[in-house]
Amino acid sequence: MEKIHKFKVSLVVVAVVALCGYSLGMSAQKLMVDNIDEVVKAMTLEEKCHMVLGRGMHFNDDAKFPGTAGSTFSVDRLGIPETYCADSQQGLRMNATRAWDHRDYYPTDFVASMTLASTWDREAAFKVGQGIGNEVREFGLDWILSPAMNLIRNPLCGRNHEYYSEDPYLSGTIGAGYVKGVQSEGTAACPKHFVANNQETNRNNNISQVSQRALREIYLKAFEIMVKESDPWTIMTSYNKLNGPYAVQNYELLTTIVRDEWGWKGMYVSDWNAGDDAVAAMLAGNDMLQPGQDKQYQAIFEAAKSGKLPMEVLDANVKRILEYVIKTHNFKKAGHQCQKEAGHQCNKPCCEQMCSAENLKAHAQVVREVGADGIVLLKNSGILPLTGKRVALFGCTSYDWISGGSGFGGTSVGHYTVSLIEGMRSAGYEVYKPLISAYTQHIAAEEKRLFPNGRPPFSLMPPARAEEKQFTADELNAAIEGSDVAIISLGRKSGEAADRSEADFYLKEGEAQLIKAVSEAYHAKGKQVIVLLDICSPVDVASWQDQIDALVCTWQGGQESGFSVADILSGKVNPSGKLPMTFQIKYGDAYADKNFPSNVDDKTLGAMFMWGYNKDQAPKERKPQANIDFTNYEEDIYVGYRYFDSFGKPVAYPFGFGLSYTTFGYENLSVTEAGGIYTIQVDVKNTGDKAGRNVVELFVAAPNSKKLNKPEKELRNYAKTSLLKPGEKETVTMKVSVEDLASFNEKASAWKTDAGVYTFMICSSANDVEAKATAKVKAWTKKVHNVMQPNVKLNLLKR
Ligand code: BGC
């Protein structure tokens, strides 16, 4: 009996196992973490061709996430879910209101990238990335199309506020902090626009002509550092052509350098509608083309059938897309049955698709703190921190504060922007009232003049801003009576699809008049004037800053800007921001200015707006025009401070500059070496009377730099101290490897560190060396592929 029972039990076990095996066999087709190859095999050619094309843009109200940039193809039978992406840089860009939903979906308006870079704080970058990654997850999406981290080559690039720095090390490390933060939430990051996409003019067709050395040392370097430190799941290729082919269609760039040399295994996505040959993009290793076009589908399908696009290449593209898919939130929650529709109260964020109020509140606090830490104090007579409690706010920008730039990557996502008035009042200041009503009326009148038919609902071009209001002597005298100090705000806004013009670098006539009149009047009565720069990129300060007493570069700090600015002006937060780029004296001072579209007329710009020069509109015999059809990077590696410092040119404010309300001293600098790694230690002491944080900048000078045509010195690391009390000391440790000291040698196609004595400098800006030590460095070399040569002869600057 017992035997029979056992036999029956075993039969049941065998049957169960067989059934499970059968069902496992069936479900092996469904995408899982470890069966990607099988799923790719099971896909039809049609499915593969759809998979490599995106699905965007989701601008309509009937979309799942209205106002977002796109999504990826789904194949239900294989368990491949749709995944969702959104811009941006400063916050998740999605319509905040939906026609069919009474709730609102406002994400946080974080800080502009330039503000973030000015913190020189990897931890701040992590926190901002984490906040955005969290909102992407909680709002139900998967993938954020940021960070944008093109090098700041010229102060007029329209998207500079979305970028970090003129220095690849600062850009790369801040980018890495941000990517790590995003991905710590299980959200995919998408560093962009890869690469040498440094102007907006004719952005879809311009050819960046760059030497191999400048590419390797400057433009690729920022991405290389970020890729190696943070391993982004995806990268977005850029619109421009680079030394010939479109970046999105360039095998040497995407595969030889990034995959083969750097070892990156993630998924490439094109910028939206980039390139002109879908098959070439696939062959180059660009896995996904967004937002996807029918003609791209046809081309890929035909090429795959004819063998022009080998199946193993298409399979590899699809595989990398699926490797991204299996990491996404929507893939992971595909198994979780949301029962909300059935009336079941499910509180999981994946069902709710709404960021929790608690997290939005925490993110607002991050914005306020990072916004303040990214403010750079440029000049201070001693008036700051403010002691007087009555302030008069001048300048239209004081009443129309700019929290970020325009364009797809821009702001306008937040629920609100804390105004300067609100910020100052909440810090206990009394804001001089007659100016509030005068400016309210003036701005309303200007609005009518500039937009007689109302503002366009959406424009990529930054909207025109009001001309400055001028005041009579009586009005000024009354303001002086009613305030202890004048604060004048100057604003500049730019964005995607258009560069700023040279004129935008300088003050407008009305701005100059206002500064002069207010400064003279206040000074005559023994009172002082502060200027706030609410700007998207550097402007001229050299020609007028002598007239004023304090200059604060607030940059654009997102929804809490008014609080962040007030925290700095009041001294609640001691400024610790440092410039991530040089403030040049005049436009034209930087060598790169020679080759930049600084004065493109509106008509040409219109013809190129926004997907690039419209070939049908162009005159037939049109010759390629410098800086529109091609841009020669003749400054070579001498971008930003590498130019000013190496060629001894004066600047208004150097890279890395920023004052504090306290002072710092540096002691006991040491450099030691072990196994090709140099460890640099220095004691930082707060020598002043207010608590503060200090950025320690480590520059290194190579021996014979002039003879060897190397920059005078280069940023090789940095650190930010904790909040040091007066008299308090902190030992800061930074590391630099022998590889980090290498320059790119084109003849040998190799990275080379020359042997010799190197100088390690602790600096408070590119122009202020605080302490120095030397160390012997042994030669080091690493051969790489001889790829990406420019196809024209460039007249390169040399030392
Ligand atoms: C921009 C990208 C953006 C994409 C999707 C493009 O025009 O260059 O930065 O991610 O649009 O919105």
What is the whole-number distance in angstroms between the Cα of residue 271 and the centre of ligand 1? 6
pLDDT band at residue 401 under the 50/70/90 scheme: very high
pLDDT value at 618 more than 70: no
199 touches 747 (CB < 8 A): no
What pLDDT band is residue 56 in, cutting at 50, 70 and 90?
confident
pLDDT(351) > 80: no
In tens, the pLDDT along 181-203 reads: 999 999 999 999 999 999 999 99
Q: Does the pLDDT value for residue 622 go beyond 80? A: no
pLDDT above 70 for 65: yes
Residue 162 pLDDT:
95
Which numbered atom of ligand 1 lies nearest the CA of 93?
Answer: 12
Q: What integer pLDDT is reported at residue 616 of this predicted model?
A: 62
Q: Which residues of 714-736 are buried (b: 16+ CB within 10 A; e: fewer)?
A: bbbbbbbbeebeeeeebebebeb
**What is the CA(400)–ligand 1 centre distance, in A?**
26
63 CA distance to ligand 1 centroid (A)? 19
Q: Classify 49 as helix, strand or coil.
A: helix
Ligand 1 site residues (CB inside 6 A) read 69, 87, 145, 192, 271-272, 408-409, 496
Q: What is the pLDDT of residues 427-475, one digit of tens each?
A: 999 999 999 999 999 999 999 999 999 887 666 567 788 999 999 999 9
Rounded distance from Cα 41 to ligand 1 centre (Å): 32
Distance 115 CA to ligand 1 centre (A): 20
- Asked if residue 703 has pLDDT above 90, the reply is yes
Question: Residue 90 in contact with residue 110, Cβ under 8 Å?
Answer: yes
pLDDT bin (cut points 50, 70, 90) of residue 100 is confident
Q: What is the pLDDT of residue 15?
A: 43
Distance CA 693, CA 487 (A): 25
At 334 the pLDDT is: 78
169 or 615: whose pLDDT is higher? 169
Tokens for 305? 């059938």
Atom of ligand 1 nearest to the CA of 203: 8
Least confident stretch, 134-148, 213-227, 458-472, 551-565: 458-472
Closest approach atom of ligand 1 to CA 291: 5
> What number does the ligand 1 atom closest to the CA of 610 have?
7
Poorest-pLDDT segment among 79-93, 632-646, 739-753: 79-93
DSSP 332-398: HGGGS---GGGT-----HHHH-S--HHHHHHHHHHHHHHHHHT-EEEEESS-PSP---EEEEESHHH
